[in-house]
Every structure is written in C-alpha cells, then in structure tokens.
Structure 1
Amino acid sequence: MLKIRLKRAGQKKKPFYKIVLMKSLSKREGKHIIEFGYYNPLKKFAYINKLLVYKYLNHGCYPTNTVRHLLYRLTQNKINVK
C-alpha cells in the first residue's frame, strides 16, 4: 500500500520534512516514489503541490494523520479516507 507521509531531512535539532509518496512498510528515510512538497515545523511553513496530492488520493493512496492535518490547514477542506 502507498502512503503520503513525511520524510525527515535537515540537521540535528533543526527538523525539516519532505512530503513524499512511499510504500507504507518503508523506513522513514527510505526511498520515495515522488515528492509533493516540504514542511518546516520551526517556521511553521509548508508548501504542498495540492493538485498532485489530490491526484494520488483519488487513485487510492492514504495520507498519514500528520499529512492529513497539514492538508486541512492549507486548504480548509476535510479529507475523507476510508
């Protein structure tokens, strides 16, 4: 199963996350299939290519809870996942 999730980048004590599409059983820093954007929790800034994310959501990919919350904050649209 494929999931849209966060992949950690950045330095020690300075987290920076990439929003990527990965297999659900992959490690956090494992190989990703496609990158959708990034999220900086220290500056509370996120960029997500929403059109690409919604394309993969319509194809059956599941977002993690954190990514779902980020998408909700950026678009104010609730994402229904079965």
Structure 2
Amino acid sequence: MNDDMTPDQEYDFYAQPENHEPLGPGRRRLTATVPVRFSEELLEQVRNAAAADDRSVSAWIRRAVEHELRHSA
C-alpha cells in the first residue's frame, strides 16, 4: 500500500478481500500519549482538515507532525 492513496483509492484497495490479510508480523508503533491543547479556533481548523482528508483528528495530527519533522532543517 502507498501513503499517497486518496481516500477513494484506499476504499477500493481494502474492498478487495486479498488486502485484508496482514503482510507481516504485527508491530506496535504508538507507545505514548501526549496531551496537547489547542484554541477552539485552531481545533476547528484541525477537525475540518482531518475530515477533508477522511482521517481521525489524531491520525491527521500525527501525519502533520511527521511531515514537519521530515521537512524541517
């Protein structure tokens, strides 16, 4: 699978039964919870952006942080 799939492509990919099987051993990637506070205005923008990407707020924030870390000096 590719992280660059659109939500429609992801839906089509997982609609195929052969794509329901794990490709390897399981791994736990998330190891800690970090409380973060946002203003109501910023949180609303995050919610809207996450919904537009068809992602949860948590997944959207993780992806934004990963993107920033890859592209920062």
Alignment TM class, shorter chain as reference? under 0.3
Which structure ranks higher in relative contact order (CA pairs < 8 Å, sequence separation ≥ 6)? 1
Q: Which structure is higher in helix share?
A: 2
If the length of structure 1 is used for normalisation, what is the TM-score?
A: 0.23
Highest Rg: 1 or 2? 2
Between Structure 1 and Structure 2, which shows a larger proportion of strand residues? 1
TM-score by length of 2: 0.25
